[in-house]
Amino acid sequence: MKYLLDTVTWIWSIGPLERINRQAQEILENGEEEIYLSAATSWEISIKVRTGNLNFPEPPASHISQFMARQNLRPLSITHTHAQKVHELPNHHKDPFDHILIAQAIVEGMVILTSDRVFAKYPVEVLWCGK
C-alpha cells in the first residue's frame, strides 16, 4: 500500500505521537509501507514558517529533510498531471495545499493519511489519523 501524509499529520508525526491514532502510528512505525511526503508539504511549511504562522525548531530546508530521512519517507514531486487534476475536484476545501495533496493521492493511487474530516468528501481513499 502507498500512503501520502497530509501536512498536519506529518507535523504531528515528528513530535510525540499522542495526537495520532494507533492504526496510523503502526503504519508510520512499521517500516513496511511506502509513505510519501509531497513537495506541497514543504512549500506549505516554508510559507507558514516565513509568515510566522508555524514554529519550527530549525529552518525548513534542513528540518524537513532530516525528518524525512529519519522516518524513511519518500519524496513526491508535483507534476502537471497532479496540478491539472485539481481542476476536477469539488471545492469542499478552501486550502490549495490540501487540493494538491488530494489530487496527488488520486492520481498516484495512494491512501491519504489525514486528520482533516473534509478530505472524506473527495473521491480519495482516506485513513483517519486523529484521535
Q: Name the pLDDT band for 39 (thresholds 50, 70, 90).
A: very high
Q: What is the pLDDT of residue 63?
A: 87
Q: Are 125 and 105 in contact (CB under 8 A)?
A: yes
Domain CATH code at residue 115: 3.40.50.1010
Q: How confident is the model at residue 80 (pLDDT cuts 50, 70, 90)?
A: very high
Could you list the residue range(s) of the whole structural domain that residue 35 is in? 2-128
Reported pTM: 0.93
Q: How many domains does the chain have?
A: 1
Q: How confident is the model at residue 31 (pLDDT cuts 50, 70, 90)?
A: confident
- Cβ-based burial of 109 (10 A; exposed 0-12, middle 13-18, buried ≥19): exposed
Chain segment 107-126, per-residue pLDDT in tens: 999 999 999 999 999 999 99
Full DSSP string of 70-123: HHTPEEE---HHHHHHGGGS-SS---HHHHHHHHHHHHHT-EEEES-GGGGGSS
pLDDT for 112:
98
pLDDT tens, position by position, 43-79: 999 999 999 999 877 788 888 999 999 999 999 999 9
